[in-house]
Amino acid sequence: MAPVTTKPIRQTYAKKNPLAPAWTGRPTLASMRIPSLDGLRGICISLVLLSHLSGTQHFVRSDIFELYGNLGVRTFFVLSGYLITAILTKEHAKAGGIALRDFYLRRAYRIVPPAYAFMLVAIATHWRVLSWANIAIALTFTSNYYYGGHYVLGHLWSLSAEEQFYLLWPLILVLFFRRRLWIIGGVLAAGPPLRIVLWMIWGRHGMGHPFPVLMDALAGGCALQMLQPQLVRYQRMFASRWFSLVPVVTALLPLMQLFSTRFYQGVGLSVLHVGIALSVQHVMASRYSVLNLRPVAWLGTISYSLYLWQQLFLNRASGEPWAAFPLNLVFAIGCGAASYYLVERPALRMRERFTRGGRSAAAPSLVAIPTAADQVSRAG
């Protein structure tokens, strides 16, 4: 492939996407990130940690904390839909199609090594209390269809849902790319009735987290990315301080569960997903300084590994000293950081060496959006 010059690409991309990160010459990790999204992920994983800390030794128990853990998870879903769709649609625009094998291979390098490293330790340390079914559904990323497994692997339901999204959405785009907006619209519309029907059949504690009741959160992110050409016309509105009311109202929506859980599950969640998508657009346009502080962004950077490992320590049913606050939080962050630097980053470097997608990601023309998608985290 002939080398691509950076100047025309930089000018063209900046005109098409005012949210693009500043170009700094040769691509670096810093220049390839979308401003504020790492910080937003840092806030989301903090909500998840707070939710799981609730009720552990020496830490207050609060139902409110647990409600906001789910808000963090659903924000991760919206971000995943947004960033993965950015990768796929950009590839389609550039190459005229989507290489499924390359996409799946890149995702495998991104997801599997950290996940399996955690599972290996979790299974080895909890062998006596884990059933074969519990282990099998964790290893095959189908935990969202299994209710009642042991706590140490219970959080993998959200990772399973995202893996199913990674499997289905590229295939749908390959087959029905021209109808993608209609498909996403149908998924968004199907969300409330599907949740209501499944609630009526199995009830709150019996339905688990099957993909059909989660897919409209991911679809919200997909829609946000596909509508970018229209949304950029209203960039000034999204960046205005008055639009900050949207994230505030969105953050209050989980409190609806205190009054009517059934209404929230049926209708409130769909409103929440729309609010999250608009809030993502707002923070990308406004670029809040707090979201771009190094500690906050760093927490977002390690959020996938942190999500995996916190489950070993943030267990309110455990009486062990390492499950007591604040030691449990120290161990969770320490193991998450170790996983990021010792497993996650080496796996990504290996991907750069051995996959075509990794090599092309180093080209200037692919920098702005695809590499940002590697910020996607799975929290739950």
Distances (CA, A) of 337 to 180, 294, 304, 333, 363: 37, 15, 10, 6, 29
Closest by CA to 307, choosing from 131, 62, 69, 23, is: 69
Secondary structure string (H, E, C) spanning the chain? CCCCCHHHHHHHHHHHCCCCCCCCCCCCCCCCCCCCHHHHHHHHHHHHHHHHHCCCECCCCCHHHHHHHHHHHHHHHHHHHHHHHHHHHHHHHHHCCCCHHHHHHHHHHHHHHHHHHHHHHHHHHCHHHCCHHHHHHHHCCCHHHCCCCCHHHHCHHHHHHHHHHHHHHHHHHHHHHHHHHHHHHHHHHHHHHHHHHHHHHHCCCCCCCCHHHCHHHHHHHHHHHHCHHHHHHHHHHHHCHHHHHHHHHHHHHHHHHHCCHHHHHHHHHHHHHHHHHHHHHHHHHHCCHHHHCHHHHHHHHCHHHHHHHHHHCCCCCCCCHHHECCHHHHHHHHHHHHHHHHHHHHHHHHHHHHCHHHHHCCCHHHCCCHHHHCCCCCCC
341-377 residue pLDDT tens: 999 999 999 998 887 654 444 332 222 222 333 443 3
Reference 53, options 79, 40, 72; nearest CA is 72
Every domain of the chain and the residues it spans: 27-373
Question: Are the C-beta atoms of 376 and 79 separated by less than 8 Å?
Answer: yes
Give the per-residue pLDDT at 197.
83
Q: Is the CB of residue 114 less than 8 Å from the CB of residue 351?
A: no
Q: What percent of the chain has pLDDT over 90?
A: 69
For position 33, what pLDDT does the model report?
63
Spans in the chain with pLDDT lower than 70: 1-33, 203-208, 356-380
Rounded to whole angstroms, the Cα distance separating 365 from 86 reads 14
Exposed/middle/buried for residue 348 (C-beta within 10 Å: 0-12, 13-18, 19+): middle
Q: What is the pLDDT of residue 356?
A: 62
The whole-number pLDDT of residue 279 equals 96
